[in-house]
Structures are given as structure tokens and as C-alpha cells.
Amino acid sequence: MTAIPPPGGKKLGLVIDLDTCVGCHACAVNCKEWNTSGHSAPLPDFDAYQANPQGVWFNRVHSYEAGEGADSRTVYFPRSCLHCEEPACVTVCPTGASYKRAEDGIVLVNPDTCIGCKLCSWACPYGAREFDEDAGVMKKCTLCIDRIYNTNIPEEDRVPACVSTCPAQARHFGDLGDPASAVSRLVAERGGYDLMPELGYKPVNKYLPPRERPRHREPAEPAIESVANPFLRWIDRALSR
């Protein structure tokens, strides 16, 4: 059923730290690696070894320049399914193939009943759904349900592939429905925010904004290097900062 289940206690999701993300794309690559043989396998590639390779990815890392001049900064921005509380991608589905799980809030696609009408990808404002042209069905991030509940792998590995691989620890996984969870506390401390909240999809995943940093100031008068006395030179340099 494409009706959204009544809100449960558990809201599994990701918290992505835009302050520490270094834009290495390891999360996207490890996601592709795991999921091409995971729950929604395979993630097809077309012309993989030609001039114009294309394929299905669940996670894509954008990079932006924000701000002006010396105050501008580079922000890396991983984008994947936000497992919304009000996912229109689910309610628009005519067959019930697209669904939100009541027990943990994960949004999934049943590849056996998807008719490939692509309407869900139109309804998602975040571009989280990509059409598998080989299989004729829609694919999307599963929050690695085949890892997080997998009792065959060590407990510390039971997190989404993107989280386990992040070298900067910019990605955090947990229950955002529990205000006492580590991820919820992180969101509260760092002012985690929703993407395009005005659309009303209520994303579960949160983004932590880049930290404030002092504005760039033009240096004062340059230090006078011709002062012979090293002590006075040091004083001059210190005062010139």
C-alpha cells in the first residue's frame, strides 16, 4: 500500500556533516560497490568503459562554492535519499511498489511490482530515485537494510556502507526518532537542518551546516623586516597581526 504508515517511534536515517565532508566520494563509491550486489542489485552501468559512462548511483557528491571572494568556501554536499516522513514518491506510486516501512521508516521499492512509470522520480524533489533502464524499474537508497540488520557481519559493520567508509566521519547513522540518540543530539548541538523544508516532505536525514568562522580581514600594515633588533622585530610583527 502506498499510504504512509502511521508514524512509528523509529526513524532511521543519516546525519551528514557539511563542515567535515572532504568531498572524496568514498561514500558514493562504497555505496555503489555494496549495493550493486545488495538488496536492489545490480546497479547498472552503461558504456562503463567508453567515453560516456553512465549508471545508477544512490549517492552523489556535489561540490559548491558559497560566499564571495576571500570569504567564500568550498562545501562538499553528498546527496542521497532522505527517507522522508511524508514521501510523495510513495504516495504517487500507482502500484504500491514504492513503500515506507512502518517499523523503521525506510523507503523502499519492490522491483517485482514496479511498472517503471517514473512518476516517483518526478515527485522526489531531491533526486533520490534513479531509473534502471536495464531492469525497467526504479531504484533508490535502501539505507543498506542488508547491512544494518545483517547478523552475519560484525556488529560494528552494521551501518550503511556510506557511513562505514567515510574517512572524515562526516556521516552518522542512527534513530532520529529517539531524541536521546547520538544522531539526534548531534543535530540539536550543531543546528542540523532539513533540505527544502517548505515542500513539506519532512526529511528524516539531516545536514549539519558548515561551522561559523571569522570573516576574512585585510592584514594591517606589513611588519617592518628592516628592524635589526630581533626582539623589536618580534614585537612589531606581533603587533602587526
Grid cell locating 151: 547478523
Residue nearer to another protein on the CB measure, 217 or 241 = 217
Instruction: Give the shortest CB-19-to-another protein separation in angstroms.
Output: 11
Residue nearer to another protein on the CB measure, 50 or 229 = 50
Q: Which residue has the cell 512509528?
A: 8
Residue nearer to another protein on the CB measure, 64 or 234 = 64
Residue nearer to another protein on the CB measure, 120 or 148 = 120
Q: Which residue has the cell 558504456?
A: 47
* Cis status, amide bond into 210, omega within 30 of 0: no
Residue nearer to another protein on the CB measure, 1 or 228 = 1
Instruction: Give the shortest CB-158-to-another protein separation in angstroms.
Output: 27
Instruction: Give the shortest CB-91-to-another protein separation in angstroms.
Output: 4
Residue nearer to another protein on the CB measure, 20 or 150 = 20
Binding residues (CB under 8 A) for another protein: these are 1-3, 18, 25, 28, 52-57, 60-68, 71-75, 77, 79, 88, 90-97, 113-119, 121-127, 130-131, 133, 135-138, 193-196, 198-200, 207, 209-210
Q: Does residue 74 contact residue 62 with C-beta atoms inside 8 Å?
A: no
Torsion sign across C-alpha atoms 205, 125, 26, 19: negative
Instruction: Give the shortest CB-226-to-another protein separation in angstroms.
Output: 40
Instruction: Give the shortest CB-144-to-another protein separation in angstroms.
Output: 19
Instruction: Give the shortest CB-53-to-another protein separation in angstroms.
Output: 6
